[in-house]
Structure 1
Amino acid sequence: MRKSHGPALKKPMIDLAQCPECRGRAVIKGVFYELSCDRCNASGWVAAATGEALPLVELVTQLGMRLQVATRQVEQLRATRATGPTLAYQESNRLGAGGTNYTGD
């Protein structure tokens, strides 16, 4: 491992797990009403390795990083193009009446 000075160049992703006390809901059942969970700072997430709540600044950063990864995955799934017979049904070939899609059925 190399020695380095200063902060890390990339922020590491911390593994998160659902809070075992509130089961990821961020609230617990009180006698008359729901109370915010103190174990996870009412977020529903704790550090997977230690089971402790993350500071709010760190939690916002980690959830933002996870949201970016999930958004990229959704965009990749949307970008996949159909091939074979399904392509004729999903894209317009403008061969039908009035320039509509013609599939030959």
Structure 2
Amino acid sequence: MKKRYGPAFRKETIELARCPACKGKAVIQGVFHRMACVQCNASGWVAAGTGEALPVEELVTQLSLRLQAAQRHINELKHPRAAGPEALYQESNRLGAGGTNYTGD
């Protein structure tokens, strides 16, 4: 492994799992009232590999990365790309006159 200095260029994602104590709800039922789960710092998420709670700063970053990935996935499902022969007609290949789309028809 190569030695490097300073912070990483990209933030590594940590695999998250639901907290086994509160089952991802961030609260546990006490005798008379609900209390914040101390095993996951009241977030409902723990590190999947170790089962330990993440620090708040790291948890915010990891949840933001997961949210951004989910939003990208939703956008891909809303706007599917054309595949197969249809893709030739949908995307510009700039081979026609003046850089327009040429389909060969």
Partner of residue 67, structure 1: 67
- 5+ residue gaps, structure 1, are 83-105
The reply on whether 1:33 has 2:33 as its aligned counterpart is yes
Partner of residue 57, structure 1: 57
- Give the root-mean-square deviation of aligned CA atoms: 1.6
What CA distance in whole angstroms lies between the structure 1 residues aligned with 2:14 and 2:62? 7
The reply on whether 1:14 has 2:44 as its aligned counterpart is no
Percent sequence identity is 60
The reply on whether 1:2 has 2:2 as its aligned counterpart is yes
Q: TM-score, normalised by structure 1?
A: 0.75
What CA distance in whole angstroms lies between the structure 1 residues aligned with 2:18 and 2:12? 19
Moved segments of 4+, more than 4 Å: none
Partner of residue 88, structure 2: none
Partner SS, residue 12 of structure 1: coil
Q: CA deviation at 1:79?
A: 0.1
Question: Letter of the aligned partner of 1:12 in structure 2?
Answer: E
Kindly tell me the number of residue pairs found equivalent between the two proteins: 83
Partner of residue 94, structure 2: none
What CA distance in whole angstroms lies between the structure 1 residues aligned with 2:81 and 2:5? 46
Question: Letter of the aligned partner of 1:78 in structure 2?
Answer: K
Partner SS, residue 57 of structure 1: helix
Q: Deviations over 1:15-53 (max 9, x none)?
A: 000000000000001111111100000000000111000
Partner of residue 85, structure 1: none
- 5+ residue gaps, structure 2, are 83-105
